[in-house]
Homo-oligomer: A and B are copies of this chain.
Amino acid sequence: MTDPGPGVALDTVLGKAVALLRAFRVEDTVLPLAELVRRTGLPKGTAHRVAGDLVEHRLLDKTPHGYRLSGGLFELGMRAATERTLLELAMPFLQDLYERTHETVHLGVQEGSEVVYVAKIGGHRQARSPSRTGGRMPMHCTAIGKVLLAHAVHEVRDDVLGGELERRTPHTVVAPGLLRRQLSRVLETGIAHEREESTVGLLCIAAPVLDPDGRTALAAISVTGPVGRFRPDAHETALRAAATALASTLARRRGGALRTG
């Protein structure tokens, strides 16, 4: 069901088109036709034609070296109501937080059993982190993920805790019991920690942006920095302030739908 598998129904035109678009990973810039064929499994001729159609519709750009996701797609993506509303309302708070900490600040939401980063802001001295705006990360090894997981519905929590907890670094928590205990503490303290669990050399703390009901988390905010200079405790207050302030702003502007429910 939730398993997207490698290919999503290639028997329909739309499926092929989406497969071509999704063939692009976050780190890709330009993919030649042959690579698209390899990744999607589409027949060469078909891929060629559909890609051409996508170019006409401004979803792909054609370059001498292959295809590239087009700016039209960027525009379209920025119209996604949930993410854009969240982003616009959150930006001032993220700015404040960045100014106070001068460390990388993230805003993330839960999507399925993973985290999607809606915003990432940082300066020149930012720690080298693998996260990207619009990118995904597992929940069990990131501070934002733990916060969201702690507040998630039982179904998702059990799903993640029951599934494989991928070891990303020597410090990744892969024991379900330990992780469950950490999640309990997150609910008590309102703060989640990550200590080199997704990337060696990186520390992170996160706080939830709670729904007015106080149980479900609409999003989470985090501050990340490198081992050595980064003192998590020093930023807790600012982080909490940002998260709760954003929460009450969201509660006020409850006009736009921020969740499917």
Contact = CB atoms under 8 A, between A and B. Distances in A.
B82 A121 contact: no
A187 interface: no
Contacts of A87: 133
Instruction: Report the interface size class on chain A.
Output: 35 or more
A53 B12 contact: yes
Contact of A80 (B69, B111, B256): B69
Contacts of A257: 29-30, 63, 65, 68
Contact of A73 (B53, B76, B120): B76
Copies assembled: 2
A70 interface: yes
11 contacts: A63-B257, A68-B257, A70-B80, A71-B111, A74-B118, A77-B134, A78-B132, A78-B134, A79-B134, A84-B134, A92-B123
Interface of A: 8-9, 12-15, 17-18, 21-22, 24-26, 28-30, 50, 53-54, 56-57, 59, 61, 63, 65, 68-71, 73-85, 87-88, 91-92, 95-96, 98-99, 109, 111, 116, 118, 120-124, 126, 132-136, 256-257, 260
